[in-house]
Amino acid sequence: MIAEHVAFGIIAAVMVASALRVVTTRDIVHAALYLVIVLAGVAALFLLVGAEFTGITQVLIYIGAVIVLFLFGIMLTRTDFDQDTETDHKRKLPAILTALLLLAVMIGALVDRFEDVKLDANLPGGQTPQTTAQVSDKLFSQYIVPFEAVSVLLLAALIGAIVIARREEGG
Amino acid sequence: MYLNEMLLLGAVLFCIGVYGVLARRNGVLVLMSIELILNAVNINLVAFGAFHDTVQGQIFALFVITVAAAEVGIGLAIVLLLYRNRRSIDLDQVDLMKG
């Protein structure tokens, strides 16, 4: 029981520190690599609460595909390597205030409503892992229509990305 | 484990992402901040799914992951086009429609 808390605390601390580096570092490649740590932390949390399939998908899609896409984007849009380009706005105060205000509202609401609610409160026998079999049963029966819709969306996004990014002289 | 641990972590990540979207000028960095926001949402979905002992939280998180992947593809294509046309991905310079 206590091990769960310790594991969560370590993962959460690493994730928040890395996320702060993602939005503050001046080197874009470093931001992408810090983002890897955050995404891996999210996957670890999913495994911690027994969501095995989503955790593995997180690693495959985010760390495997999205980060590679980001690194390609950085590589193709690097402007001047010698001149250090400004990555942030000059005045950060409004952004900091907005984020802090939002955080205060959300923390207030969450603490007010979910204070001392155990994650396994609905399960007297403790947390049960939600297996891949259960997820696929639900996904391919009750959620088959959204599943198909999302595959059409992916196809549309694929074609759209090709059309947007292709060079004009080819036709 | 408390439910609030997950939810508060999600809230913190969400706000860090919001700060990134507002404060960054580089198009790719803004997209990365959006990924932070979407991951915060996924943490909440999975946490509530585990809390209610249903797999629906996981299924919605999977849909969010899929849509996020499509979003990154299109977003980076737009940033690439921006770079090709203006030789810069500074979002402050993309103000052609400003009245």
Cβ burial of A165 (10 Å; 0-12, 13-18, 19+) is middle
Q: Which residue of A has its CA nearest to B26?
A: A87
Alpha helix (H) ranges present in B1-99?
3-23, 27-51, 56-86
Alpha-carbon span B67 to B79, nearest angstrom: 18
End-to-end CA distance of chain B: 52
- Residue A7: Cβ within 10 Å count: 14
What SS3 state is found at A125? Answer: coil
Give the pLDDT score at A85: 61
Q: What is the pTM of this model?
A: 0.90
The whole-number average pLDDT for the span A4-33 is 93
Residue A58 CA, chain-centre distance (Å), reads: 8
Q: Beta-carbon neighbour count of residue A161 at 10 Å? A: 20
**CATH ID of A2-79+127-170, from 1.20.1250.20, 3.30.230.70, 1.20.120.1200, 3.40.50.12280:** 1.20.120.1200
Is pLDDT at B94 greater than 90 in this prediction?
A: no
HSE of B33, CA atoms in CB hemisphere, 13 A:
24
Subunit contact B32:A107, Cβ cutoff 8 A: no
Residue B71 confidence (pLDDT) above 50? yes
Each residue of A27-82: pLDDT tens digit? 889 999 999 999 999 999 999 988 899 999 999 999 999 999 999 988 888 765 54
Domain range list for chain A: 2-79+127-170
Domain boundaries, chain B: 3-87
Q: What's the ipTM?
A: 0.92
In this structure, are residues B34 and B14 in contact, taking their beta carbons and an 8 Å threshold? no
- pLDDT at position A90 is 78
**Nearest-CB residue to A22 (from B5, B20, B54):** B20
In CATH, B3-87 is 3.40.50.1820 = no
Burial A38-75 (b: 16+ CB within 10 A, else e): bbbbbbbbbebbbbbbbbebbbebbbeebbebbbebbe
CB contact under 8 A, B4 and A130: no
Whether the pLDDT of residue B62 is over 80: the answer is yes
Chain B CA closest to residue A52: B58
Q: Measured between alpha carbons, how far is B35 from B69 in angstroms, rounded to an integer?
A: 9
Q: How far apart are CA A36 and CA A19, in angstroms?
A: 10
How many residues are present in chain B? 99
pLDDT digits (tens, 9 = 90+) for A113-161: 988 888 776 666 666 677 889 899 999 999 999 999 999 999 999 999 9
| Interface membership of B7 toward A (CB under 8 Å) | yes
Residue A88 confidence class, pLDDT cut points 50, 70, 90: confident
* Mutation target vs A (from B8, B13, B28, B60; most A CBs, 10 A cutoff): B28
Please state, in angstroms and rounded to a whole number, the distance separating the CA atoms of residues A90 and A107.
Answer: 29
